């Protein structure tokens, strides 16, 4: 399956985006989707000048949509224009389609650059003006911050990405961790071609799914064959980093997605960690080969907050991973 998309009507697409970005146009939002639900083809749908509320009303539970919203944000008594990118996968989108749309999400997102905040959601309330302004303030660093104790953090609701992107995990797939292989998805990303078993995007989606207890998944090369790369699921679970470590043999290359919770701006925030494992016993020629697969794997595991490249089991601990997550989010305390 290709990871790139084509635009059905480039003139309409460019006009939709430029209308939102123009200082002389009243348009402040535009919405886009797929042509006939084809993951490889995208098109401009409509635009308007009614602000966040009107913008949010365009997203439906049975479709996949993308949007660009223009907002005004006041910083130090001056008004700045901010752009918000939205990726919407409706709650009623069929199970089989969610993985296929997910594979091209990085390609679609690139078409909307630049923007200040991105939001991935299937919940209308996430697109309220107040919520979006909070995310913009987080990004601009205009919110007040303090260190929470454990009891305060537990009582707070979860929120997704709070830095340059804001992701709220929706019901992406079912919660089953048992899969049967069906077919191959081809992915090429500026390097060697990589084939993915159909269940790889499914198990990744399970980690992102709020309705599932799954917190991690690990994938690797079938038969440890890097010359004909075919990525399969090695396993998933609802435990901590120790469970992930148990699947990382010293003679294999593997990739994992791990869901953790970090306290950011007084709110327990879901974070996704992408782990690339190259065992100490992997041969030098194999290590060189995987560099050509990097782009395809990163696209499959996109989005994530933190990337970790490890070669020793001592690096795959809950403490080590959370240290990197907190350093990236700014929640790590440096007081000694």
245-256 residue pLDDT tens: 999 999 999 999
* For residue 315, pLDDT beyond 90: yes
Instruction: Tell the CATH superfamily of the 184-329 domain.
Output: Severin (3.40.20.10)
- Do 6-143 and 184-329 have matching folds? yes
Across 119-128, 133-142, 322-331, the highest mean pLDDT is recorded for 119-128
Global pTM exceeds 0.85: no
In the prediction, which pLDDT does 181 show?
38
20-41 residue pLDDT tens: 999 889 999 999 999 998 999 9
- pLDDT category of residue 146 using cuts at 50, 70 and 90: very low
* For residue 75, pLDDT beyond 70: no
pLDDT greater at residue 135 or residue 301: 301
* For residue 147, pLDDT beyond 80: no
Q: What percent of the chain has pLDDT over 70?
A: 79
Q: Parse the chain into domains and list their residue ranges.
A: 6-143, 184-329
* For residue 282, pLDDT beyond 60: yes
In the prediction, which pLDDT does 294 show?
87
120-136 residue pLDDT tens: 899 999 999 998 988 87
**Range from 114-118, 215-219, 322-326 carrying the lowest mean pLDDT:** 114-118
Instruction: Tell the CATH superfamily of the 6-143 domain.
Output: Severin (3.40.20.10)
In the prediction, which pLDDT does 142 show?
46
- The 3-state secondary structure of the chain reads CCCCCEECCHHHHHHHHHHHHCCCCCCCEEEEEEHHHCCCEEEEEEEECCHHHHHHCCCCCCCEEEEEEEEEEEECCEEEEEEEEEEEECCCCCHHHHHHHHHCHHHHHHCCCCCCEEEEECCHHHHCHHHHHHHHHHHHCCCCCCCCCHHHHHCCCCECCCCCCEECCCCCCCCCCCCCCCCEEEECCCCCCEEEECHHHHHHHHHHCCCCCCCEEEEEEHHHCCCCCEEEEEEEECCCHHHHHCCCCCCCEEEEEEEEEEEECCEEEEEEEEEEEECCCCCHHHHHHHCCCHHHHHHHCCCCCEEEEECCHHHCCHHHHHHHHHHHHCCCCCCC
In the prediction, which pLDDT does 95 show?
74
């Amino acid at each position: 399956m290709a990871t790139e998309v084509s635009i059905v009507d480039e003139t309409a697409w460019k006009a939709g985006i430029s209308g939102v970005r123009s200082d002389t146009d009243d348009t402040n939002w535009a919405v886009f989707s797929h042509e006939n639900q084809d993951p490889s083809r995208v098109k401009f749908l409509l635009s308007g000048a009614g602000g966040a509320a009107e913008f949010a009303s365009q997203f439906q539970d049975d479709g996949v949509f993308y949007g660009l919203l223009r907002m005004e944000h006041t910083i130090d008594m001056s008004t700045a224009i901010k752009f918000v990118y939205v990726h919407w996968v409706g709650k009623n989108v069929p199970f089989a389609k969610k993985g296929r749309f997910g594979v091209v999400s990085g390609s679609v997102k690139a078409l909307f650059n630049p923007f200040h905040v991105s939001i991935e959601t299937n919940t209308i309330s996430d697109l309220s003006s107040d919520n979006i302004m909070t995310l913009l303030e987080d990004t601009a660093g205009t919110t007040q911050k303090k260190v929470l104790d454990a009891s305060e953090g537990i009582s707070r609701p979860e929120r997704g990405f709070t830095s340059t992107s804001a992701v709220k995990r929706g019901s992406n797939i079912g919660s089953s961790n048992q899969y049967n292989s069906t077919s191959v998805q081809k992915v090429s990303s500026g390097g060697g071609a990589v084939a993915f078993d159909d269940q790889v995007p499914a198990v990744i989606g399970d980690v992102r799914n709020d309705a599932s207890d799954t917190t991690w998944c690990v994938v690797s090369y079938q038969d440890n064959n890097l010359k004909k790369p075919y990525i399969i699921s090695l396993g998933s679970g609802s435990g901590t980093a120790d469970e992930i470590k148990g699947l990382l043999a010293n003679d294999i290359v593997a990739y994992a997605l791990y869901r953790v919770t970090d306290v950011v701006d007084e709110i327990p925030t879901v974070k996704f960690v992408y782990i690339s494992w190259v065992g100490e016993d992997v041969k030098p020629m194999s290590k060189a080969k995987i560099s050509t697969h990097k782009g395809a794997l990163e696209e499959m595991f996109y989005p994530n907050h933190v990337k970790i490249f490890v070669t020793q089991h001592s690096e795959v601990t809950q403490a080590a991973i959370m240290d990197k997550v907190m350093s990236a989010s700014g929640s790590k305390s440096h007081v000694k």
